[in-house]
Structure 1
């Protein structure tokens, strides 16, 4: 499953956030993979971050990560940069509502592919 998230950076922390995400800790990567997260891409426009997450089951991944020390450490560290996540259609995960998809409408078939 692929979901989109939207978060907002604290004022003036854009460059710091970019620098911190140039390379994330190896133990965090391992935790994400164990939780069933296959891919995670983040784009930034000003203070706004847009995340595309590909996971087996993102709600389940959040449950797994909730007990992981590497994720706890990363979230505490990131709190200095991220103001918060915007609410999404799914209150549990914060996932945004999907409005449209080219592949689905065109009948190209198959599961959506992350690019």
Structure 2
């Protein structure tokens, strides 16, 4: 399944946010992959961050990562950089952006 998310970086922390993502812990990327994620890309426009990820089951992904120590540490680091963070609780499944249009399914 494909999931799109919107988060926001603090205006005064953009450089730190981008630096952090050049140093994502291998244990975290391994855990993300083990939770069924096959791709995760983040784009930035000003302070708006747009994430698109592909995974087997988004609810299962959140459940597997929510209390995982390496993810908790990462989310603590991100909390100092973000105005709007990714929600890893079970409520987070409702935070994904709805699909408005998809060329692949447009049959015209």
Return 5+ residue gaps in structure 2 as ranges.
Answer: none
Give the Å deviation of 1:101: 0.5
Q: Is the counterpart of residue 97 in structure 1 residue 98 in structure 2?
A: yes
Deviation digits for residues 32-79 of structure 1 (CA, Å, limit 9, x no counterpart): 011111111000000000000111001110001012111011000111
Q: Summarize the alignment of residues 29-40 of structure 1 with structure 2, pairs less than 5 Å apart.
A: 29-40=29-40
The alignment partner of 1:83 has SS state of strand
Return 5+ residue gaps in structure 1 as ranges.
Answer: 108-115
Give the Å deviation of 1:86: 8.4
Alpha-carbon contact 2:79-2:85 (below 8 Å) kept: no
Structure holding more helix per residue: 2
**Hey, what does 2:17 align to over in structure 1?**
17
Q: Name the structure, 1 or 2, with higher relative contact order (CA <8 Å, separation 6+).
A: 2
Count residues in correspondence.
Answer: 104
Spell out structure 1 runs of 4+ moving beyond 3 A. Answer: none
Alpha-carbon contact 1:5-1:85 (below 8 Å) kept: no
